[in-house]
Amino acid sequence: MAVSVTLPYSAEVLQAFLAGYHESIWPAQIAAVLLIAALLVVLARPTPRTTRLPALILTAFWAWVGGVFYMAELTHLSFLATAHGAACLGQAALLLGHAGRGPEPVAQRSRARLSFGIGLLVVALGVYPLGMAVWEGSAAAWRLAGVTPVATALLTLGALILGPGGRWTAGLLGVIPAAVLAWAAFTAWVLA
């Protein structure tokens, strides 16, 4: 007996949704790009005074993805959007709590940690958005970190790995972003 799995939308509908979503939130993308630039600067040159800034920027991104992308927009397509939005808002709360712990010492990063973190940032900010644009044949449904979930999850994991916290911090704060990526992989498999 074969099991059939379906979603309440097709790949074409999702692409059209993303294009309309980007039109409706303009110019929020400009703020996202500016915050991403600030995040990259702080990750590249961390100081004891700036160790909380990545968590605060990521808090804003997860609050946006949960509240706007899922709860305000995607609820029209998916009955699970509210649950996904709540998880994203939970991630924002975790990151805010992490930022509220105070400054952390800036630790030396191993070559492996540095390479893996930078690799995730490259995927989040370049490979994934460009790959999807080429795959779909359109940049209208651009996957921009800070305003869409998968790119935000990839950016978060990269920032957690590069950030001042240890493995436990990255591991605990990485659970929800990893779940977002797992759901996206499942969705891509179903839509293919």
- For 17-37, the DSSP string reads HHHHHHHHHTTHHHHHHHHHH
Sequence ranges of the domains in the chain: 11-191
Average pLDDT over residues 133-150: 92
- Looking at residue 107, its pLDDT comes to 67
The Cα 10–Cα 138 span in angstroms is: 16
- Looking at residue 2, its pLDDT comes to 53
Query: By three-state DSSP, how is residue 99 classified?
Result: helix
Average pLDDT, the chain: 91
Average pLDDT over residues 69-92: 96
- Looking at residue 5, its pLDDT comes to 56
- Looking at residue 167, its pLDDT comes to 72
Residue 93 or residue 9, greater confidence: 93
Residue whose pair of structure tokens reads 């004891």 in the numeric block = 48
Please return the burial class of 156, using the count of CB atoms within 10 Å of its CB with bins 0-12, 13-18 and 19+. buried
- Looking at residue 110, its pLDDT comes to 85
- Looking at residue 4, its pLDDT comes to 53
Residue 182 or residue 114, greater confidence: 182
Average pLDDT over residues 154-163: 94
**Residue range 85-108, pLDDT digits in tens:** 999 999 999 999 998 877 666 667
Average pLDDT over residues 2-23: 81
Weakest-pLDDT range from 74-83, 98-107, 174-183: 98-107
Percent of the chain with pLDDT over 90: 67
- Looking at residue 108, its pLDDT comes to 73
Kindly list the distances between the CA atom of residue 48 and the CA atoms of 3, 168, 170, in Å, as whole numbers in the listed order. 53, 19, 18
